[in-house]
Amino acid sequence: MDHAALQAEAVQRIAAAETPDAVEALRVEFLGKQGSISGLLKTLGAMSADERQSAGPRIHALREAVTAALAARKGALQGAAMEARLAAERIDLTLPAPAAPRGSVHPVSQVMDELAEIFADLGFAVATGPEIEDDWHNFTALNMPESHPARAMHDTFYFPDAGPEGRRMLLRTHTSPVQIRTMLKAAKASPGGAPLRIIAPGRVYRSDSDATHTPMFHQVEGLVIDRGIHLGHLKWTLETFLKAFFERDDIVLRLRPSYFPFTEPSVEVDVGWQEVKGPNGSRRMLGGDGDAPGHGWMELLGSGMVNVRVLEAGGYDPSEWQGFAFGIGVDRLAMLKYGMDDLRAFFDGDARWLAHYGFSAFDQPTLSAGVGAISTGAGA
Ligand code: PHE
């Protein structure tokens, strides 16, 4: 048997194989269990020692040459297949990418950002407190003792179990307990008190529900404590804030005597509006003197000078420190600025509503240009 001729023929057939399948078929034909070269290897056992010595190396060399040829051809065919694929496949990077669903910033978050921005320019820091409160911070320290009738007005959600220190636990009905928490912290850091300028935006809860009331809503509390603070500082601060927020210079405020247990005197603040005629009928716009013809007043927020008892509960000496406080509905501010008319839709999570009224994450909150240029009246 001429091993050299056998090898030449095998190598030539392998080189001529055109597909990986053809290469595999040749491997089976030569080296498989029933393969011809495997068959040759089996004959070695029956040979005499002399025969084996001369035939053995040649058969092994034959097997190695064929194995190498098979591997080389397989590699070449795989490489060619890859080349062909690379040449044929194309990604068109100029095609527009499919739209990725994008969320939006809720109007309440947007308005809270705007509030923080405007009040930061006036020197106010942002303070927070827990939504699960105790009745001491939510009521008692705010001059509403156990039997106070104003407690009943708040439609409070109470928890069945008492909290630490045996206090009754509740969902805070307003952001005013943050006044107490902030004062106590400041008075502790600097015994006797220290000037304070904070806003406290957040969620509040009352058992109430209709087109303008939801069981959860948002307020922003404002608190300034310093020496020589009076109602003029309150009015200037609110006016400056509302002008920046509504982006109108003609915001006119009216202060009406009112009552809150935690402020004395208390004032309800109204803002003037006017009837503006447009293509789809007329609508009310904020701005202008509410007493002018075709104008009116709208109740906007509650405020007043911090009650002496509240200053004391907060750790301040009222003979030295005075303050003003206010509380505004954040959802209401959003409705007035951005034109929604049903508060309940704020919390429905309807994607269409959110797409319409929501803001891009890239939107800047209302710029308070100009506000910073005016000297900060409050506490200055
Ligand atoms: N906490 C009051 C409310 O929820 C608002 C308020 C805050 C009034 C601060 C005066 C001062 O109605």
Find the 153 Cα to ligand 1 centroid distance in Å.
12
Which pLDDT band, with edges at 50, 70 and 90, does 376 fall under? very low
Please give the biggest Cα pair distance in the chain. Answer: 129
Task: Tell me, using a 6 A CB cutoff, whether residue 325 lines ligand 1.
Answer: yes
Mean pLDDT of 27-52: 90
- 215: CB partners within 8 A, 6+ apart: 157, 205, 206, 207, 208, 209
Tell me the three state secondary structure of residue 355: helix
Burial of 356 (0-12, 13-18, 19+ CB in 10 A): exposed
From the CB of 323, is ligand 1 less than 6 Å away? no
Of 330, 271, 363, the closest CA to residue 126 belongs to 330
Measured in Å, residue 325 CA sits from the centre of ligand 1 at: 8
CB 85 within 8 A of CB 70: no
**Digit-coded pLDDT (tens) for 321-355:** 999 999 999 999 999 999 888 888 999 999 999 99
Tokens of 338: 């951005």
Q: Give the H or E element holding residue 290.
A: none
Q: Is the pLDDT of residue 363 over 80?
A: no
The reply to whether ligand 1 has any atom less than 6 angstroms from the CB of 176 is: yes
Count CB-CB contacts under 10 A for residue 300.
21
* Average pLDDT score over residue span 371-375: 38
User: Which helix (H) or strand (E) element contains residue 58?
Assistant: helix 49-88
Confidence band of 368 (pLDDT split at 50, 70, 90): low
Vertex 222 angle, CA 338 and 196, to 5°: 145
Confirm if 293 and 196 have CB atoms less than 8 A apart.
no
Most informative mutation of 260, 305, 310, 328 for ligand 1 (most atoms within 8 A of CB):
260
Atom of ligand 1 nearest to the CA of 219: 4
**pLDDT single digits (tens) 255-313:** 999 999 999 999 999 999 998 888 888 888 899 999 999 999 999 999 999 999 999 99
How many of the other CB atoms lie within 10 Å of CB of 172? 26
Q: Write the CA distances from 181 to 32, 187, 203, 276, 311, integer angstroms.
A: 86, 10, 16, 44, 12
Q: Is the CB of 253 under 6 A from ligand 1?
A: no
For the chain, percent of residues with pLDDT exceeding 90: 70
CB atoms within 10 A of CB 307: 21
Q: What is the pLDDT of residues 152-188, one digit of tens each?
A: 877 899 999 998 889 999 999 999 999 999 999 998 8
Residue where the block lists tokens 């911090």: 306
Q: For ligand 1, is residue 354 a contact (CB within 6 Å)?
A: no
Q: Which atom number of ligand 1 is nearest to the Cα of residue 303?
A: 10
- 98-134, pLDDT tens digit by residue? 888 888 999 999 999 999 999 999 999 999 999 999 9
State residue 140's pLDDT score: 96
Give CA–CA dist 330/368, Å, rounded: 18
What is the reported pLDDT for 282?
82
- Torsion over CA: 93, 98, 99, 100 (sign): negative
326 lines ligand 1 (CB under 6 A): yes
- Determine if ligand 1 sits within 6 Å of the CB of residue 174: yes
Q: Distance (Å, rounded) from C-alpha 309 to C-alpha 313?
A: 6
- Provide the whole-model pTM: 0.72
Report the phi/psi class of residue 276: left, alpha or beta, with left for phi > 0 and alpha for psi in -120 to 50.
beta
In the chain the first and final C-alpha atoms are separated, in Å, by 113
Q: What percent of the chain has pLDDT over 70?
A: 95
Q: What angle do CA 101, 107, 113 make, to 5 degrees?
A: 110
Candidate of 262, 267, 328 to mutate for ligand 1, largest count of ligand atoms within 8 Å of Cβ: 262
Mean pLDDT of 58-73: 93
Rounded Cα distance between 211 and 184, Å, is 37
